[in-house]
Amino acid sequence: MKVYLDNAATTPLDPEVLKEMYRVMESQFGNPSSIHSHGREARTVIEKARKTVAALLHTSPSEIFFTSGGTEADNMAIRCGIVDHDIKHAVTTRIEHHAVLHTLQAMQKSGLIELSFVDIDGRGNINLSHLDELLAGHDRSFVSLMHANNEIGTLTDVEAVGDICKKHNAIFHCDTVQTMGHYPIDLQVLKADFITCAAHKFHGPKGIGFLYINHKLKINPMIYGGAQERNMRGGTENLHGIVGLAKALEIASEEMAEHHSYIQGLKSYLIDKLINNIPGVEFNGEIAPDSSLYTVLNVLFPETEIADMLLFNLDIAGISVSGGSACSSGTNIGSHVLEGIGSNPNRPAIRFSFSKFNTTEEIDFVVSKLRSLFQVNFS
């Protein structure tokens, strides 16, 4: 048996998405910037997809800009939002995705901004009172905080963050890459200036995403070239990718409640099986359903002789997961997220991440392999 439990890294393409993409690749091959009929047909396809995305997020199509994925969208929001609005102070956490963290640190290093870090607890929860204090000390700030952490799954109350940012006239960029397609996002309620998306996190294609830009906030392009995306992103559009993104988000939205319940069931099942089969197992981040991303479970295994070989042994057994540990020395490049929450650097951590295509039979298989590994070690 081969088991794929690394869906936070990327998800398998939904067959219905593939069909829609293939149809467009076969019949709508024109350049959307061309004025002839083939180009106009391609342009119509893009704008239909844009309207689909906007409707699902309760916003205007004019606020959706397609990008190459979440990393480009994060970079565009941060760099252009800060520079074009002459922001001198930014706020984030030490456990953000590197697309956010490294971008802000690079801007800090070049002297463009002062960078502050919000306090977090040992499970990755943000101290909202500290955020309020950080923003109160500056005329205007740029805040970049993710909806759910991609490694440990802890959810942030982004609506509360939005309210605090509005109170202090701060620009709020919310990285929603891990939650898009998994939670309802209503941009009439969420007071965010930017949100980001990558289609391959919800059974869409790789290499396509989008950036939402609130119409009240004007920025210049990060990528210049042609007049594509209403002069906001140069480059011929990824037509079949855009169609795939819209189709995947449409499917995810239609099936969201059903899949939430099913996948949460898989996660809870794995939690119970691990507790009952692996002595000393613990969990990084929040695991309660109301405070944790239901597609992610980060497990802290006992400190053993097989710690360095755990991922290798699972891979040999046909199990695909992500692993790591906190940094234990200056030469050990571990997880900055686990280090940031104070996880034990001597214990191996595994991130299991689920999708609608996983089964309880797969969970049983994984736990049986883990149990055999640890029994050998403990014997």
Active site residues: 327
Closest CA to 208 of 8, 52, 60, 70: 70
| Residue type (1 letter), 53 | V
Q: Residue 235 and residue 224: Cα distance in Å, rounded?
A: 8
Burial environment of residue 119 by CB neighbours within 10 A (0 to 12, 13 to 18, 19 or more): middle
